[in-house]
Amino acid sequence: MPRSLLRPYNAPGLFITGVGTDIGKTTVTAALAAALQQLHVRVGVCKPVSSGCSRRAGYTGSVTSDDHLVSADGEALARAAGFDPKDESIMRFVAPIRYAAPVSPALASQLEDRAPDWHRVAAAFDFWQENCDLLLVEGAGGWYVPIHPAPHDFMIADLAAALRLPVLVVTDAVLGSINLSLLTIHAVREKNLPAVGVVINRVPPVEQRDLALASNMEEIPRLSGVPLRAILPEAGEPPDPPPGAFVEALLPFAREWWNMVRVDQ
């Protein structure tokens, strides 16, 4: 079903993925959206598939529709891009598919007995293609998270490949991050997509960095051949809205990327 409905996104955009769940994709996407806002770019945001969503305020019936749930990640993206997260006429394009269970979307769809509505996702990309200058698409979990159940297996990697968007990879620099980062970047390239940058998230202050962490921050971009676009500090719980320091850290990349894609249009 998704393979027959989704087609390449024919306008400027970026796909933001991570080396795993809770690595900070929403924080990075929101900060990048806010940076583009500062540059007066009409930025669109979309998290096509969300799980771990809460019930809409005041709704007590059975969950039979995506509209009965609220995506916290989607709301954070909407706020950062200058949209009202209470406006469902926009949110259906920001977070089209939503599940309550805090598991992979493919498993959540089985647990909730509700197949992903890929028509909503296709409609979202059609909307953004006409209503923004640059679209930021945030994945769910890591690159190989399943988002459609068997027998039509479909993963985040397949979604990104269908859209044909360049990919920004979010990682950290703790022990083991070189392996996870290089594996993710290799998998992105296996889909014939360009990995255009790495953002290293949750980096402690200089005085708290051990040798492995300090080395990893240098080795990830060097070994992968992918530019380091920003280093973001530790921030505890996912910050909403993104701190000004995060926005400032991503502003150079936002400016460079916008200037490049604008010339290509």
What HEC string does 69-95 produce? EECHHHHHHHHHCCCCCCCHHHHHHHC
**Mean of pLDDT values over 52-81:** 92
The domain limits of the chain are 2-264
d(CA 107, CA 52): 12
Domain 2-264 has CATH 2.70.98.90: no
Q: Give residue-wise pLDDT tens across range 4-32.
A: 889 999 999 999 999 999 999 999 999 99
Q: Give residue-wise pLDDT tens across range 132-182.
A: 999 999 999 999 999 998 888 999 999 999 999 999 999 999 999 999 999
| pLDDT for the residue numbered 263 | 67
d(CA 245, CA 249): 6
Residues identified as active-site: 47
* Type of residue found at 164: R
Confidence of residue 236 (pLDDT cuts 50, 70, 90): low
Confidence of residue 245 (pLDDT cuts 50, 70, 90): very high
Q: How many CB atoms lie within 10 A of CB 237?
A: 5
Confidence check: pLDDT of 91 > 70: yes
